[in-house]
Amino acid sequence: MFNLNYFSIPLLLKTLFSHWKRYYWIRGRGFTIGEYFNVLLSNLMSRFLGALIRIALIIVGLILELFIIIGGFIIFLGWILLPVLLISGLVLGTLLIIS
- Helix residue ranges, H only, 1-99: 2-6, 9-14, 33-98
| pTM beyond 0.85, yes or no | no
pLDDT reading at 20 higher than 80: no
54 exposed, middle or buried (CB, 10 Å; 0-12, 13-18, 19+)? Answer: buried
pLDDT for 25 equals 62
pLDDT in tens, 47-99: 899 899 999 999 999 999 999 999 999 999 999 999 999 999 999 989 888 87
Q: 30's torsion region: left (phi>0), alpha (psi -120 to 50) or beta?
A: left
pLDDT for 29 equals 74
pLDDT for 17 equals 80
Q: Report whether 69 contacts 61 (CB < 8 A).
A: no
